[in-house]
Amino acid sequence: MVVWNVIVAGVLGYTLGSIPFAILVTRWVVGIDVRDVGSGHAGGTNVMRAAGWGPGILVAALDFGKGYLAAWIAQRMGGVGITTAVAAGAVVIGHCWPIFARFRGGMGMGCGAGAILAIWPLGFVLGVGLGVSLQLIIHHSARANVFTGILLSPLWALFGATWPWLITAAAVGIVISYRALSDWNRVYTELWLDRG
């Protein structure tokens, strides 16, 4: 039964993550594929560039929601542990490499944030604080995301998170870090935090 729950949670997480809200909303609002403009990523920030603040905020909320939903369902199936770690990792993988959008998606931060909020609200606050701090220090979104993903689980450990929470944080963090490596050398000009 535990193995079955893990498999179902992983498939459900990946399927939810693969819903390309950024692509759907941008096509609906301005008639373009969001991946053809700006950063080339299918996420809320790039939708803001392509279609404006309203659609961008809508996409960010939907991406956050699918991450939350995947982890929330997994908790109902098997508590916090392997099942939630697989679901949380899978929903971020689905967002970054969506089967419904030729495996070209977003960076996974919003989706991952939703998943970790469902697991541990204090951990979510810690993760946001870590991510924002690193953005302000490093001034490069992708590099800050790499380090945020790497440091998330150790930060949770410092604040008393138990191992089931830590493996979920690690699953989300590893996927986000790996995805952000593709933009490690990217020269950003679109966001004020990335400017020297």
List, for residues 15-40, the tens digit of each pLDDT value: 999 999 999 999 999 999 999 998 89
* Cβ-Cβ contacts under 8 Å for 19 (sequence gap 6 or more): 66, 94, 98, 100
CB-count burial class (<10 Å; 0-12, 13-18, 19+) for 8 = middle
Whether the predicted pLDDT of 195 surpasses 60: no
Whether the predicted pLDDT of 44 surpasses 70: yes
Confidence of residue 126 (pLDDT cuts 50, 70, 90): very high
Confidence of residue 93 (pLDDT cuts 50, 70, 90): very high
Reading phi first (left if > 0) and then psi (alpha if -120 to 50, else beta), residue 178 is in: alpha
pTM of the model: 0.92
Task: Look at residue 189 in the predicted model and tell me its pLDDT.
Answer: 60
